[in-house]
Chains A and B, each alone.
Chain A
Amino acid sequence: MATKKKVAVTKPAAKKASTKKTVPTKAAATPRAAAKRVERALLGGVTLLASETQGRTGAQAIAPDHSPRAKPAAVRAPRSVSAPAKSAAGLKERVEQFLFRQSELLDNKHWQDYIDLFTEDGVYWMPALPEQTEWEGTASIFAEDKMLMQVRMGRVTHPNAWSQAPMWATNHLVGNIVIEKETAKEVVVRSRFHMMELRRDSVRHFGGTYRHTLVKKGSGFRIRLQRVDLFNGQAAYDYVLQIWV
């Protein structure tokens, strides 16, 4: 366990910059011997274990009460969009309302509610290339089951998620909704999205296609797979994506 004493950040007494080498330099060896020395150094090593991450680490080990982030604003947008008034609403309308609700949850940072939209085996997947067909075993931008989504949520809600300190918000628009397929248990829906993201004083744009595999649940749905194809997915990223698009 790290203690304050062990990790106290003290600057070494200001040394006069000098070329003094305090550790002896051994006489030059042959290149072969030098290479052997490096090889020896690469034998053995350490394994840092997760069990050691208990307790305070990092900046919290130094200043447990430090919080780099402003408290969330007191007034927040509505927790959810209400379901359509008539349960008799048609499939298209119910699907639309579901997708709109998803956008609201993301834009209002209701991360847990968003994760709860997924089935237990639900997956959020953003492939790197449009021709990819499997979320597992392919290079992806996001490839997250519910447990990994839980990690991502844990990260952005941690007080020391430094990159969340600057002003940050998103705004989603979803449209062009097409029901591709409906079975007794599932609906496959394709839609287009446009997400604007504010970070510090800059706005970025992301656009593309959602393809939701929705499982019917009462008059609502749960997401078994949300596939997100960014149309600018292989363009250079100015900074990265911190949360689901």
Chain B
Amino acid sequence: MPSIDIAKLVEPDRVHRLAYTSQEIFDIEVENIFEKIWVYCGHESQVKNPGDYHTLQIGRQPMVMVRGKDRQVRVLYNRCPHRGVELCGNQRGNTGSNFVCSYHAWSFHLDGKLEAIPLMKGYDGTRLTRDNPDCDMKSAARVDSYRGFVFASLSNAGPTLSEFLGEARIAFDDMCDRSPAGEVEVVPVCHRVIQHSNWKFFMENQLDALHPSVTHQSTGVAAGVIEKEIAAKTGHAPLHYHYLSAFATPFDKWDTVQTINFPRGHGILKAYMGLRPQDPDTKAYERLMEKAYGKEKMEEYLSRSIHHVLVYPYLSVQSPLQQLRCLRPLGPNKTLSEIWHFRLKGAPEAIYRRSLWYFNLVNSPATMINADDLENWTKGQWGLESKGGDWVSFHRDYGRDTIENGVTYSNKGTSEAVMRSQFQAWTKYMQGSL
């Protein structure tokens, strides 16, 4: 039994700092959340050919996503059943037609089934026989995908992927619907950045509309200056300056952006960047979209007001710009983020390049935005590890959100409805009731 009473950590309008700092709490999170729920593994296009693999961590488990000879994508424990050695020592690659252990050459088919053991006769008369499932690589309990995005759950119990995603599946619909082919393809560059903070800092920050003009003022103002300079010279500055300058918008404007918060902690920050300019590139793209889907659907797909969608508690999907950030929590004060972007199949190159600017300027390891976020989260973690106070405040606009069918619509962009909603889900997960 945990020595910490979860129920006492979370109040409707504030949360105890231990939720961010305690190793014991983190251990329960791994067990009750990350090693149970549906966790994003990768996109099918990361493993195009049989034998292509990609390693990843689910909770504390080393896993490998692999394409089989039957074209099926599987998620297996990256572990030899003989003496436990990890089978894939690299992040990604092609393993050929089988996995072979580097220790004693046990080999396995791409579906994880045992292929061969050297000198098999050595096992004659023992209880280890070829048909013993203990000789196979263990598979994740459940693997499923949605529109090409592969998820695995290490538990047989719990909601289906579709139930887990709920309304947050719009993240993947919104991304794929923007392709005239209805599909995206991964760009094989994965930036990985370590956050020296609890994973909750990132998840809260993603939908926190009060912080941008404070945290990112330096970049927003600097970009605004150059944006105006270019506009004065050429009449129009490229959209990517606006990606940055918009961050410095004053508080009261940010308050007009709405968040939508779902029962499992998922959420949406509505759009604010105005990503549908009427330049020739956009018009050419719209014609392709109209040809593929008809005018009405094209309008529906391109006018959804989404900045990004959170799949709680570890994924932030920026669907209109085809990028995502996936968290792999490593400890109470350490989180790995994996940053990917995608191409819309069948869309013009200019549309890819427009999104790419966001990836390069905001999501790269030389980001002019997250540099200041990471600074906040590190200092935030240190502050919460101190004895300077026990509570984290989420009082802003408490009691002033609109709740319909269990969905919380913030009436103010800066409402801390986001954090309140996330912690409601967190409490249920931690108590084993979600």
Contacts and interface: CB of A to CB of B under 8 A. Distances in A.
B13 to A, nearest CB: 6
B153 interface: no
B190 interface: yes
A41 B256 CA distance: 13
Contacts of B376: 162
A53 B221 contact: yes
Given A23-B403, A41-B260, A141 B214 contact: no
Contacts of B244: 151
B341 interface: yes
Interface in B179-196: 187, 189-194, 196
A147 to B, nearest CB: 5
Interface residues of B, number: 92
A240 interface: yes
Interface string A132-145: 00001111111100
B374 A26 contact: no
B304 A42 contact: yes
A23 B359 CA distance: 39
A141 B218 CA distance: 20
B70 to A, nearest CB: 31
A71 interface: no
Contact of B272 (A28, A47, A57, A240): A47
Contacts of B252: 2, 6-7
Interface residues of A, number: 79
B251 A21 contact: no
A128 interface: yes
B367 A2 contact: no
Given A50-B224, A163-B374, A141 B365 contact: yes
Nearest to B399: A22
Contacts of A28: 405-406
Interface string B325-353: 00000000000100001000000010011
Interface of B: 11-14, 167, 170, 187, 189-194, 196, 213-230, 241-242, 244-246, 248-254, 256-258, 260, 268, 270-274, 303-306, 336, 341, 349, 352-353, 356, 359-361, 364-368, 370-372, 374-376, 393, 395-396, 398-407, 409
Interface of A: 1-2, 6-7, 11-12, 15, 17-23, 25-26, 28-29, 33-35, 37-38, 41-50, 52-55, 57-61, 126, 128-129, 136-143, 147-148, 150-156, 158-163, 165-166, 234-242
Q: Which 10 residue pairs of A and B lie closest in terms of their CB atoms, listed nearest first? A: A154-B222, A45-B305, A47-B274, A2-B250, A158-B218, A58-B217, A22-B399, A161-B218, A163-B375, A236-B192
